[in-house]
Chain A
């Protein structure tokens, strides 16, 4: 069972470069999320999508854009990467109506911006 799949797992960028993190889930969930995890800061929500065709800002959206391509896929784009965006990024999905607050996470994408 694949669950939530993120690519790439590791990436090194130079300041000002752009890149897209890809996420796909095979659980037919409506909701998808992008979080970043930093030491001492915990998991912080960047963007989420409650259903196909909708996206909303989370706690730390600046410097990021998202696309909910279809029900399965939710991508996160960094248009002009900055060292402050060095982090581990997690994609997650859920289905409201199941266990409230049960999110299924991918294994993470480790991004370093030099």
Chain B
């Protein structure tokens, strides 16, 4: 079993839709849960992260972790064409050695 599983998509939604991106993980030692965004032909960049369980909101983005089910989610409200990118989840034990999911490619069309 992979340590991190992520649906690769692609996910295609109309502008204004609510998007849900998800990952599952197997190692209960993970404490930090990162979401990276990667635009086409660019390097990934950190979008947001949460520590332990619970929600964290940043503008139109909400990250959610359920440690009991080992499930990580990223919600995007009022999605925009500029949100079109690949989103990678990356849990961590608090070090900088991350395990990346395969990434979900999102396309938001006008």
Interface residues of A (CB under 8 A from B): 4, 31, 33, 35, 40-45, 48, 90, 92, 94, 96, 99-108
Contact (Cβ within 8 A) B97 A4: no
Q: How far is the CA of A45 from the CA of B95 in the complex (A)?
A: 14
Q: Determine whether the beta carbon of A100 is less than 8 Å from that of B92.
A: yes
B16 on interface, CB distance cutoff 8 Å: no
- A to B contact number (C-beta, < 8 Å): 62
Inter-chain contact A100/B88, CB cutoff 8 Å: no
The residues of A that contact B103 with a CB separation of less than 8 Å are 42
- Report the separation of the CA atoms of residues A43 and B34 in the bound assembly, to the nearest whole angstrom: 14
Choose among A45, A101, A102, A104 the residue with the greatest number of B CB atoms under 10 Å from its CB: A101
Among the stretches B38-46, B55-63, B75-83, the one at the interface with A is: B38-46
Write out, one digit per residue, whether chain B residues 22-36 have a CB within 8 A of any chain A CB (1) or not (0): 000000000010100
Name the residue of chain B whose CB is nearest to the CB of A88. B41
**Residue on B nearest A106 in the bound complex, by CB:** B43
For the complex, what is the distance from the CA of A106 to the CA of B90, rounded to whole Å? 18
- List A contacts of B97 (CB < 8 A): 45, 48
CB-CB nearest in chain B for A107: B43
Closest to A30 in B: B96
- Contact across chains for B96 and A41 when beta carbons are under 8 A apart: no
Q: With A42-B88, A100-B92 as given contacts, are A108 and B42 in contact (CB-CB < 8 Å)? A: yes
Q: Is the CB of B32 within 8 A of A101?
A: yes
Q: Are B42 and A42 in contact (CB under 8 A)?
A: no
Q: Does B102 contact A (CB under 8 A)?
A: yes
- A39–B24 Cα distance when bound, in Å, is 19
* Min CB–CB distance A104 → chain B (angstroms): 8
Say yes or no: A4 contacts B43, CB within 8 Å.
Answer: yes
Q: Which of B70-110 contact A (CB under 8 A)?
A: 88, 90, 92, 94-98, 100-103
Asked if B88 and A101 sit within 8 Å, CB to CB, the answer is no
> A99 contacts B102, CB within 8 Å?
no
> Closest CB of chain B to A21's CB: distance in Å?
14
Q: How many angstroms from the CA of A43 to the CA of B102 in the assembled complex? A: 7
